[in-house]
Structure 1
Protein backbone atom coordinates (compact mmCIF):
# COMPACT_ATOMS: atom_id res chain seq x y z
CA UNK A 1 0.00 0.00 0.00
CA UNK A 2 1.36 3.40 -1.00
CA UNK A 3 2.43 5.71 1.83
CA UNK A 4 0.43 8.94 1.99
CA UNK A 5 2.16 11.98 3.45
CA UNK A 6 0.02 15.05 4.16
CA UNK A 7 1.04 18.45 5.53
CA UNK A 8 -1.71 20.54 7.11
CA UNK A 9 -0.75 24.23 6.94
CA UNK A 10 -2.77 26.81 8.88
CA UNK A 11 -2.54 30.36 10.21
CA UNK A 12 -4.60 29.19 13.22
CA UNK A 13 -4.39 25.82 14.98
CA UNK A 14 -5.02 23.71 11.87
CA UNK A 15 -7.94 21.80 13.32
CA UNK A 16 -10.23 22.43 10.33
CA UNK A 17 -7.64 21.24 7.81
CA UNK A 18 -6.90 18.10 9.81
CA UNK A 19 -10.59 17.22 10.11
CA UNK A 20 -11.10 17.62 6.36
CA UNK A 21 -7.97 15.56 5.65
CA UNK A 22 -9.07 12.72 7.94
CA UNK A 23 -12.58 12.74 6.49
CA UNK A 24 -11.17 12.37 2.96
CA UNK A 25 -8.49 9.81 3.86
CA UNK A 26 -11.04 7.63 5.69
CA UNK A 27 -12.76 7.02 2.34
CA UNK A 28 -9.61 5.18 1.21
CA UNK A 29 -8.05 4.05 4.49
CA UNK A 30 -10.60 3.91 7.34
CA UNK A 31 -7.92 3.37 9.96
CA UNK A 32 -5.56 5.93 8.40
CA UNK A 33 -3.12 3.09 7.69
CA UNK A 34 0.08 4.02 5.87
CA UNK A 35 -0.72 7.69 6.38
CA UNK A 36 1.35 10.44 7.94
CA UNK A 37 -0.34 13.69 8.95
CA UNK A 38 1.78 16.60 10.07
CA UNK A 39 0.17 19.82 11.24
CA UNK A 40 1.89 23.21 10.83
CA UNK A 41 -0.14 25.70 12.93
CA UNK A 42 0.13 29.47 13.35
CA UNK A 43 2.02 30.04 10.10
CA UNK A 44 2.38 33.81 9.86
CA UNK A 45 5.26 34.51 7.51
CA UNK A 46 6.32 33.74 3.95
CA UNK A 47 9.65 32.42 5.29
CA UNK A 48 7.69 29.73 7.17
CA UNK A 49 5.88 28.81 3.97
CA UNK A 50 9.18 28.46 2.09
CA UNK A 51 10.58 26.18 4.81
CA UNK A 52 7.44 24.01 4.82
CA UNK A 53 7.36 23.61 1.02
CA UNK A 54 11.07 22.71 0.98
CA UNK A 55 10.36 20.02 3.57
CA UNK A 56 7.31 18.84 1.63
CA UNK A 57 9.50 18.42 -1.47
CA UNK A 58 11.98 16.32 0.49
CA UNK A 59 9.23 14.12 1.95
CA UNK A 60 7.02 13.98 -1.15
CA UNK A 61 4.08 15.40 0.78
CA UNK A 62 0.74 16.77 -0.32
CA UNK A 63 -0.17 20.13 1.25
CA UNK A 64 -3.66 21.00 2.48
CA UNK A 65 -3.95 24.56 3.72
CA UNK A 66 -6.34 26.91 5.50
CA UNK A 67 -4.83 30.38 5.18
CA UNK A 68 -7.21 33.33 5.38
CA UNK A 69 -4.75 35.97 4.22
CA UNK A 70 -4.55 36.37 0.43
CA UNK A 71 -0.81 37.13 0.37
CA UNK A 72 -0.04 33.96 2.35
CA UNK A 73 -2.15 31.81 0.03
CA UNK A 74 -0.49 33.35 -3.02
CA UNK A 75 2.97 32.71 -1.56
CA UNK A 76 2.13 29.06 -0.85
CA UNK A 77 0.74 28.57 -4.37
CA UNK A 78 3.95 29.99 -5.89
CA UNK A 79 6.16 27.81 -3.71
CA UNK A 80 4.15 24.70 -4.59
CA UNK A 81 4.52 25.52 -8.29
CA UNK A 82 8.26 26.01 -7.82
CA UNK A 83 8.67 22.59 -6.16
CA UNK A 84 5.94 20.90 -8.26
CA UNK A 85 3.95 19.99 -5.15
CA UNK A 86 0.33 18.88 -5.02
CA UNK A 87 -1.72 21.23 -2.85
CA UNK A 88 -5.37 21.96 -2.00
CA UNK A 89 -6.71 25.31 -0.79
CA UNK A 90 -9.49 24.42 1.67
CA UNK A 91 -10.73 27.93 2.47
CA UNK A 92 -9.67 30.34 -0.29
CA UNK A 93 -12.39 29.35 -2.82
CA UNK A 94 -15.08 29.71 -0.14
CA UNK A 95 -13.78 33.14 0.85
CA UNK A 96 -13.75 34.24 -2.79
CA UNK A 97 -17.28 32.96 -3.32
CA UNK A 98 -18.59 34.79 -0.26
CA UNK A 99 -16.72 37.97 -1.17
CA UNK A 100 -18.35 38.01 -4.61
CA UNK A 101 -21.77 37.08 -3.26
CA UNK A 102 -21.78 39.58 -0.37
CA UNK A 103 -19.83 42.36 -2.03
CA UNK A 104 -17.70 42.60 1.11
CA UNK A 105 -14.03 42.08 1.85
CA UNK A 106 -13.10 39.36 4.39
CA UNK A 107 -11.33 40.42 7.59
CA UNK A 108 -8.44 38.03 6.83
CA UNK A 109 -7.86 37.61 10.55
CA UNK A 110 -6.66 34.13 11.58
CA UNK A 111 -8.50 32.22 14.31
CA UNK A 112 -11.76 34.21 14.31
CA UNK A 113 -13.98 31.13 14.47
CA UNK A 114 -12.03 29.85 17.46
CA UNK A 115 -12.43 33.20 19.21
CA UNK A 116 -16.19 33.01 18.63
CA UNK A 117 -16.32 29.49 20.06
CA UNK A 118 -14.35 30.55 23.14
CA UNK A 119 -16.69 33.50 23.65
CA UNK A 120 -19.72 31.20 23.44
CA UNK A 121 -18.35 28.74 25.97
CA UNK A 122 -17.43 31.55 28.37
CA UNK A 123 -21.03 32.75 28.22
CA UNK A 124 -22.42 29.26 28.90
CA UNK A 125 -20.00 28.84 31.81
CA UNK A 126 -21.07 32.18 33.28
CA UNK A 127 -24.79 31.33 32.95
CA UNK A 128 -24.28 27.97 34.67
CA UNK A 129 -22.32 29.73 37.41
CA UNK A 130 -25.14 32.25 37.99
CA UNK A 131 -27.69 29.44 38.30
CA UNK A 132 -25.51 27.42 40.66
CA UNK A 133 -24.79 30.33 42.98
CA UNK A 134 -28.17 32.05 42.81
CA UNK A 135 -29.95 33.12 45.99
CA UNK A 136 -27.03 32.31 48.30
CA UNK A 137 -27.23 28.56 47.65
CA UNK A 138 -23.51 27.98 48.09
CA UNK A 139 -21.44 30.76 49.68
CA UNK A 140 -18.24 29.25 48.30
CA UNK A 141 -19.22 30.73 44.95
CA UNK A 142 -18.75 34.23 46.34
CA UNK A 143 -14.99 33.76 46.36
CA UNK A 144 -14.99 32.63 42.72
CA UNK A 145 -17.40 35.26 41.37
CA UNK A 146 -16.51 38.26 39.21
CA UNK A 147 -19.52 40.11 40.64
CA UNK A 148 -21.48 39.63 43.86
CA UNK A 149 -24.98 41.08 44.29
CA UNK A 150 -26.66 41.51 47.66
CA UNK A 151 -30.05 42.85 48.61
CA UNK A 152 -33.36 42.11 50.27
CA UNK A 153 -35.96 39.97 48.53
CA UNK A 154 -37.45 41.29 45.24
CA UNK A 155 -34.65 43.67 44.29
CA UNK A 156 -34.02 41.91 40.94
CA UNK A 157 -30.89 40.06 42.03
CA UNK A 158 -31.61 36.97 39.93
CA UNK A 159 -32.63 38.76 36.68
CA UNK A 160 -29.59 41.00 37.00
CA UNK A 161 -27.34 37.98 37.62
CA UNK A 162 -28.60 36.30 34.46
CA UNK A 163 -28.26 39.48 32.40
CA UNK A 164 -24.64 39.93 33.53
CA UNK A 165 -23.95 36.23 32.93
CA UNK A 166 -24.95 36.76 29.30
CA UNK A 167 -22.19 39.37 29.24
CA UNK A 168 -19.81 36.59 30.40
CA UNK A 169 -19.50 37.70 34.04
CA UNK A 170 -19.61 35.05 36.75
CA UNK A 171 -22.20 36.37 39.22
CA UNK A 172 -23.30 35.15 42.64
CA UNK A 173 -26.07 36.76 44.65
CA UNK A 174 -27.06 36.66 48.31
CA UNK A 175 -30.44 37.59 49.84
CA UNK A 176 -30.23 39.52 53.10
CA UNK A 177 -32.72 38.91 55.90
CA UNK A 178 -32.38 40.08 59.51
CA UNK A 179 -32.87 36.59 60.97
CA UNK A 180 -29.98 35.04 59.04
CA UNK A 181 -26.34 36.00 59.41
CA UNK A 182 -24.67 36.72 56.06
CA UNK A 183 -22.06 34.13 55.02
CA UNK A 184 -18.53 34.88 56.18
CA UNK A 185 -17.31 34.68 52.59
CA UNK A 186 -19.22 37.89 51.90
CA UNK A 187 -16.76 39.78 54.09
CA UNK A 188 -13.71 38.14 52.54
CA UNK A 189 -14.29 39.30 48.96
CA UNK A 190 -12.99 42.47 47.32
CA UNK A 191 -15.61 45.18 48.07
CA UNK A 192 -15.09 46.56 44.55
CA UNK A 193 -16.81 43.52 43.04
CA UNK A 194 -19.77 43.60 45.45
CA UNK A 195 -22.93 45.62 44.77
CA UNK A 196 -25.82 46.24 47.13
CA UNK A 197 -29.22 46.64 45.48
CA UNK A 198 -31.65 48.89 47.30
CA UNK A 199 -35.20 50.03 46.58
CA UNK A 200 -37.64 52.42 48.24
CA UNK A 201 -39.88 50.81 50.88
CA UNK A 202 -43.01 51.98 49.05
CA UNK A 203 -41.97 50.41 45.77
CA UNK A 204 -40.90 47.22 47.48
CA UNK A 205 -44.21 47.09 49.36
CA UNK A 206 -46.07 47.26 46.03
CA UNK A 207 -43.86 44.62 44.36
CA UNK A 208 -44.19 42.19 47.25
CA UNK A 209 -47.97 42.57 47.41
CA UNK A 210 -48.18 41.84 43.70
CA UNK A 211 -45.96 38.81 44.19
CA UNK A 212 -48.16 37.44 46.97
CA UNK A 213 -51.29 37.87 44.88
CA UNK A 214 -49.60 36.19 41.89
CA UNK A 215 -48.89 33.05 43.91
CA UNK A 216 -52.38 33.01 45.41
CA UNK A 217 -51.63 34.35 48.88
CA UNK A 218 -53.11 37.19 50.90
CA UNK A 219 -51.30 40.48 50.29
CA UNK A 220 -51.34 41.50 53.95
CA UNK A 221 -48.71 38.96 54.97
CA UNK A 222 -45.78 40.16 57.08
CA UNK A 223 -43.50 39.79 54.02
CA UNK A 224 -45.17 42.79 52.37
CA UNK A 225 -45.70 45.03 55.40
CA UNK A 226 -43.84 48.35 55.47
CA UNK A 227 -42.59 47.70 59.02
CA UNK A 228 -41.00 44.42 57.95
CA UNK A 229 -39.51 46.02 54.85
CA UNK A 230 -37.98 48.85 56.89
CA UNK A 231 -36.38 46.29 59.23
CA UNK A 232 -34.89 44.45 56.27
CA UNK A 233 -33.51 47.63 54.73
CA UNK A 234 -31.90 48.61 58.06
CA UNK A 235 -30.23 45.20 58.15
CA UNK A 236 -29.15 45.67 54.52
CA UNK A 237 -27.59 49.07 55.36
CA UNK A 238 -25.68 47.53 58.24
CA UNK A 239 -24.25 44.75 56.05
CA UNK A 240 -23.19 47.00 53.14
CA UNK A 241 -21.47 49.39 55.55
CA UNK A 242 -19.52 46.47 56.97
CA UNK A 243 -18.49 45.29 53.48
CA UNK A 244 -17.86 48.81 52.17
CA UNK A 245 -19.43 48.03 48.79
CA UNK A 246 -21.20 50.22 46.27
CA UNK A 247 -24.98 50.60 46.61
CA UNK A 248 -27.26 50.99 43.59
CA UNK A 249 -30.84 52.22 43.85
CA UNK A 250 -32.89 49.99 41.54
CA UNK A 251 -36.22 51.77 42.14
CA UNK A 252 -37.93 52.22 38.74
CA UNK A 253 -34.72 51.18 37.01
CA UNK A 254 -34.55 48.57 34.24
CA UNK A 255 -32.24 45.60 34.68
CA UNK A 256 -30.21 46.79 31.67
CA UNK A 257 -29.58 50.17 33.31
CA UNK A 258 -28.40 48.59 36.55
CA UNK A 259 -26.21 46.15 34.63
CA UNK A 260 -24.54 49.01 32.74
CA UNK A 261 -23.73 50.77 35.99
CA UNK A 262 -22.25 47.58 37.45
CA UNK A 263 -20.18 46.88 34.32
CA UNK A 264 -18.90 50.46 34.13
CA UNK A 265 -17.84 50.34 37.76
CA UNK A 266 -16.08 46.98 37.28
CA UNK A 267 -14.35 48.31 34.16
CA UNK A 268 -13.06 51.41 35.97
CA UNK A 269 -11.64 49.32 38.81
CA UNK A 270 -9.79 46.83 36.60
Structure 2
Protein backbone atom coordinates (compact mmCIF):
# COMPACT_ATOMS: atom_id res chain seq x y z
CA UNK A 1 0.00 0.00 0.00
CA UNK A 2 1.37 3.46 -0.88
CA UNK A 3 1.68 5.98 1.91
CA UNK A 4 -1.29 8.38 1.93
CA UNK A 5 -0.22 11.89 2.80
CA UNK A 6 -1.90 15.19 3.61
CA UNK A 7 -0.76 18.63 2.42
CA UNK A 8 0.84 20.92 4.97
CA UNK A 9 -0.96 23.92 6.41
CA UNK A 10 -0.67 27.01 4.25
CA UNK A 11 0.60 30.52 4.84
CA UNK A 12 -3.05 31.57 4.68
CA UNK A 13 -3.78 29.27 7.63
CA UNK A 14 -0.84 30.65 9.59
CA UNK A 15 -2.06 34.21 9.01
CA UNK A 16 -5.59 33.27 10.01
CA UNK A 17 -4.39 31.54 13.18
CA UNK A 18 -2.34 34.46 13.94
CA UNK A 19 -1.19 36.41 14.04
CA UNK A 20 0.62 33.20 14.33
CA UNK A 21 2.51 32.31 17.40
CA UNK A 22 1.31 33.99 20.61
CA UNK A 23 -0.97 36.36 18.71
CA UNK A 24 1.75 38.38 17.00
CA UNK A 25 2.72 39.30 13.45
CA UNK A 26 4.81 36.81 11.49
CA UNK A 27 8.48 37.65 10.94
CA UNK A 28 10.46 36.18 8.06
CA UNK A 29 13.43 36.54 5.74
CA UNK A 30 14.36 36.22 2.08
CA UNK A 31 16.20 33.14 0.81
CA UNK A 32 17.94 34.28 -2.38
CA UNK A 33 21.15 32.26 -2.61
CA UNK A 34 19.63 29.31 -4.46
CA UNK A 35 21.27 26.97 -1.95
CA UNK A 36 19.29 24.17 -0.26
CA UNK A 37 21.87 24.16 2.54
CA UNK A 38 21.36 27.86 3.22
CA UNK A 39 17.59 27.45 3.00
CA UNK A 40 17.74 24.69 5.61
CA UNK A 41 19.95 26.83 7.86
CA UNK A 42 17.38 29.61 7.66
CA UNK A 43 14.46 27.23 8.20
CA UNK A 44 15.86 26.27 11.59
CA UNK A 45 16.39 29.86 12.72
CA UNK A 46 13.14 30.24 14.64
CA UNK A 47 11.64 32.69 12.15
CA UNK A 48 8.02 32.19 11.13
CA UNK A 49 8.42 32.18 7.34
CA UNK A 50 10.85 32.16 4.46
CA UNK A 51 10.49 33.71 1.03
CA UNK A 52 12.35 31.77 -1.66
CA UNK A 53 12.79 34.27 -4.47
CA UNK A 54 12.98 33.61 -8.20
CA UNK A 55 12.35 37.15 -9.43
CA UNK A 56 15.73 38.65 -8.53
CA UNK A 57 17.63 35.51 -7.55
CA UNK A 58 19.28 32.58 -9.38
CA UNK A 59 16.46 30.11 -8.79
CA UNK A 60 14.97 27.76 -11.37
CA UNK A 61 12.58 24.85 -10.99
CA UNK A 62 15.27 22.41 -9.90
CA UNK A 63 16.76 24.66 -7.19
CA UNK A 64 13.31 25.60 -5.87
CA UNK A 65 12.43 21.91 -5.60
CA UNK A 66 15.67 21.18 -3.75
CA UNK A 67 14.99 24.00 -1.30
CA UNK A 68 11.43 22.85 -0.68
CA UNK A 69 12.79 19.41 0.14
CA UNK A 70 15.51 20.87 2.36
CA UNK A 71 13.11 22.89 4.53
CA UNK A 72 10.39 20.24 4.66
CA UNK A 73 9.67 19.24 8.24
CA UNK A 74 10.93 22.46 9.80
CA UNK A 75 8.37 24.57 11.72
CA UNK A 76 8.40 27.39 9.19
CA UNK A 77 6.08 28.55 6.41
CA UNK A 78 7.72 28.64 2.98
CA UNK A 79 6.52 31.13 0.37
CA UNK A 80 7.90 31.22 -3.19
CA UNK A 81 7.98 34.24 -5.50
CA UNK A 82 7.95 33.52 -9.24
CA UNK A 83 9.61 36.03 -11.56
CA UNK A 84 6.30 37.19 -13.00
CA UNK A 85 2.55 36.71 -12.99
CA UNK A 86 2.58 33.97 -15.62
CA UNK A 87 0.08 31.12 -15.89
CA UNK A 88 2.59 28.55 -17.15
CA UNK A 89 5.20 29.37 -14.50
CA UNK A 90 2.63 29.28 -11.74
CA UNK A 91 1.43 25.87 -12.98
CA UNK A 92 4.99 24.56 -12.83
CA UNK A 93 5.57 25.97 -9.36
CA UNK A 94 2.35 24.47 -8.04
CA UNK A 95 3.15 21.08 -9.56
CA UNK A 96 6.55 21.20 -7.81
CA UNK A 97 4.69 21.38 -4.51
CA UNK A 98 4.81 25.12 -3.89
CA UNK A 99 1.80 25.80 -1.68
CA UNK A 100 2.32 29.49 -0.95
CA UNK A 101 2.82 31.96 -3.79
CA UNK A 102 3.84 35.62 -3.69
CA UNK A 103 3.12 37.00 -7.16
CA UNK A 104 5.03 40.20 -7.99
CA UNK A 105 3.96 43.35 -9.81
CA UNK A 106 0.19 42.97 -9.54
CA UNK A 107 -1.13 46.36 -10.60
CA UNK A 108 -4.88 45.85 -11.00
CA UNK A 109 -7.82 43.70 -10.02
CA UNK A 110 -7.69 42.07 -13.47
CA UNK A 111 -4.08 41.02 -12.91
CA UNK A 112 -5.00 39.70 -9.46
CA UNK A 113 -7.84 37.69 -11.00
CA UNK A 114 -5.38 36.23 -13.52
CA UNK A 115 -3.11 35.09 -10.69
CA UNK A 116 -6.04 33.48 -8.88
CA UNK A 117 -7.16 31.69 -12.06
CA UNK A 118 -3.66 30.27 -12.51
CA UNK A 119 -3.93 28.55 -9.12
CA UNK A 120 -7.33 26.94 -9.74
CA UNK A 121 -8.38 24.01 -11.88
CA UNK A 122 -11.28 24.44 -14.32
CA UNK A 123 -14.05 25.46 -14.11
CA UNK A 124 -12.82 27.92 -11.48
CA UNK A 125 -9.51 28.67 -13.19
CA UNK A 126 -7.04 27.66 -15.88
CA UNK A 127 -4.45 25.51 -14.09
CA UNK A 128 -3.39 22.59 -16.26
CA UNK A 129 -4.08 19.13 -14.86
CA UNK A 130 -1.05 16.94 -14.29
CA UNK A 131 -1.44 15.73 -10.72
CA UNK A 132 -0.44 12.15 -11.48
CA UNK A 133 3.00 13.44 -12.52
CA UNK A 134 3.41 16.07 -9.82
CA UNK A 135 4.94 16.35 -6.38
CA UNK A 136 2.06 18.67 -5.42
CA UNK A 137 -0.29 15.69 -5.10
CA UNK A 138 2.57 13.44 -4.02
CA UNK A 139 1.90 11.61 -7.27
CA UNK A 140 -1.80 11.16 -6.42
CA UNK A 141 -1.10 10.03 -2.86
CA UNK A 142 -3.05 12.99 -1.45
CA UNK A 143 -6.69 11.87 -1.39
CA UNK A 144 -8.99 13.86 -3.71
CA UNK A 145 -6.21 16.30 -4.58
CA UNK A 146 -7.91 17.64 -7.69
CA UNK A 147 -11.05 18.53 -5.75
CA UNK A 148 -9.14 19.93 -2.79
CA UNK A 149 -6.21 21.65 -4.49
CA UNK A 150 -7.46 25.18 -3.87
CA UNK A 151 -7.49 24.45 -0.14
CA UNK A 152 -3.78 23.61 -0.26
CA UNK A 153 -2.66 26.86 -1.94
CA UNK A 154 -2.37 30.40 -0.62
CA UNK A 155 -1.93 33.44 -2.82
CA UNK A 156 -0.36 36.73 -1.81
CA UNK A 157 -0.03 39.47 -4.42
CA UNK A 158 2.61 42.16 -4.36
CA UNK A 159 1.69 45.85 -4.38
CA UNK A 160 4.74 47.74 -5.63
CA UNK A 161 3.64 50.50 -8.00
CA UNK A 162 1.64 53.69 -7.83
CA UNK A 163 -0.99 52.03 -10.04
CA UNK A 164 -1.31 49.14 -7.59
CA UNK A 165 -1.63 51.53 -4.65
CA UNK A 166 -4.39 53.34 -6.50
CA UNK A 167 -6.20 50.04 -7.13
CA UNK A 168 -5.47 48.39 -3.79
CA UNK A 169 -9.10 48.29 -2.64
CA UNK A 170 -10.15 46.55 -5.87
CA UNK A 171 -7.23 44.11 -5.64
CA UNK A 172 -8.11 43.26 -2.05
CA UNK A 173 -11.70 42.57 -3.11
CA UNK A 174 -10.67 39.82 -5.53
CA UNK A 175 -11.86 36.43 -4.30
CA UNK A 176 -8.85 34.13 -3.93
CA UNK A 177 -6.36 36.85 -2.99
CA UNK A 178 -5.46 35.85 0.54
CA UNK A 179 -3.10 38.71 1.38
CA UNK A 180 -1.13 41.60 -0.08
CA UNK A 181 2.56 42.36 0.33
CA UNK A 182 4.09 45.82 -0.05
CA UNK A 183 7.40 46.24 -1.88
CA UNK A 184 8.84 49.67 -0.94
CA UNK A 185 11.82 49.44 -3.32
CA UNK A 186 9.84 49.20 -6.55
CA UNK A 187 7.19 51.46 -5.08
CA UNK A 188 9.84 54.13 -4.53
CA UNK A 189 10.93 53.79 -8.15
CA UNK A 190 7.33 54.07 -9.35
CA UNK A 191 6.84 57.22 -7.28
CA UNK A 192 9.95 58.84 -8.77
CA UNK A 193 12.18 58.47 -5.71
CA UNK A 194 14.33 55.51 -6.78
CA UNK A 195 16.36 54.04 -3.93
CA UNK A 196 14.53 56.03 -1.25
CA UNK A 197 12.43 53.42 0.54
CA UNK A 198 12.17 55.73 3.57
CA UNK A 199 10.79 58.66 1.55
CA UNK A 200 7.62 60.12 3.13
CA UNK A 201 5.59 59.42 -0.03
CA UNK A 202 6.63 55.77 0.04
CA UNK A 203 5.88 55.42 3.73
CA UNK A 204 2.49 57.06 3.22
CA UNK A 205 1.63 54.75 0.31
CA UNK A 206 2.55 51.67 2.35
CA UNK A 207 0.50 52.82 5.32
CA UNK A 208 -2.46 53.60 3.04
CA UNK A 209 -2.38 50.00 1.79
CA UNK A 210 -2.08 48.62 5.32
CA UNK A 211 -5.23 50.53 6.28
CA UNK A 212 -7.04 49.34 3.16
CA UNK A 213 -6.18 45.73 3.97
CA UNK A 214 -7.40 46.13 7.53
CA UNK A 215 -10.68 47.56 6.25
CA UNK A 216 -11.00 44.62 3.83
CA UNK A 217 -10.30 42.09 6.56
CA UNK A 218 -7.24 40.69 4.78
CA UNK A 219 -3.62 40.48 6.01
CA UNK A 220 -0.98 42.80 4.62
CA UNK A 221 2.79 42.42 4.85
CA UNK A 222 5.76 44.58 4.01
CA UNK A 223 9.46 44.30 3.26
CA UNK A 224 11.54 46.37 5.70
CA UNK A 225 15.20 45.63 6.47
CA UNK A 226 15.48 48.78 8.59
CA UNK A 227 14.47 47.68 12.10
CA UNK A 228 12.90 51.00 13.07
CA UNK A 229 10.89 51.10 9.84
CA UNK A 230 9.81 47.49 10.35
CA UNK A 231 8.55 48.25 13.84
CA UNK A 232 6.74 51.33 12.54
CA UNK A 233 4.92 49.27 9.88
CA UNK A 234 4.02 46.63 12.46
CA UNK A 235 2.52 49.35 14.63
CA UNK A 236 0.63 50.59 11.55
CA UNK A 237 -1.00 47.17 11.15
CA UNK A 238 1.30 44.90 9.14
CA UNK A 239 0.41 41.25 9.79
CA UNK A 240 3.67 39.83 8.43
CA UNK A 241 7.08 41.22 7.56
CA UNK A 242 10.41 40.39 5.96
CA UNK A 243 13.36 41.74 7.92
CA UNK A 244 16.45 40.37 6.18
CA UNK A 245 17.94 38.15 3.50
CA UNK A 246 20.46 35.34 3.45
CA UNK A 247 22.65 37.09 0.89
CA UNK A 248 22.55 40.40 2.78
CA UNK A 249 23.49 38.73 6.05
CA UNK A 250 26.45 37.04 4.39
CA UNK A 251 27.51 40.21 2.58
CA UNK A 252 27.37 42.42 5.68
CA UNK A 253 28.91 39.75 7.91
CA UNK A 254 31.86 39.16 5.58
CA UNK A 255 32.35 42.93 5.22
CA UNK A 256 32.44 43.25 9.00
CA UNK A 257 35.22 40.66 9.13
CA UNK A 258 37.15 42.54 6.46
CA UNK A 259 36.65 45.86 8.25
CA UNK A 260 37.90 44.36 11.51
CA UNK A 261 41.11 42.94 10.06
CA UNK A 262 41.91 44.73 6.78
CA UNK A 263 42.35 48.48 6.44
CA UNK A 264 41.27 49.81 3.01
CA UNK A 265 44.29 50.98 1.01
CA UNK A 266 42.75 54.39 0.35
CA UNK A 267 41.68 54.84 3.95
CA UNK A 268 38.00 54.95 2.98
CA UNK A 269 35.35 52.70 4.45
CA UNK A 270 33.76 50.39 1.85
CA UNK A 271 30.25 51.37 0.82
CA UNK A 272 27.49 48.84 1.42
CA UNK A 273 23.72 48.77 1.08
Provide TM-score, normalisation by structure 2: 0.26
Which is bigger in relative contact order (C-alpha 8 A, separation at least 6)? 2
- Higher share in helix: 1
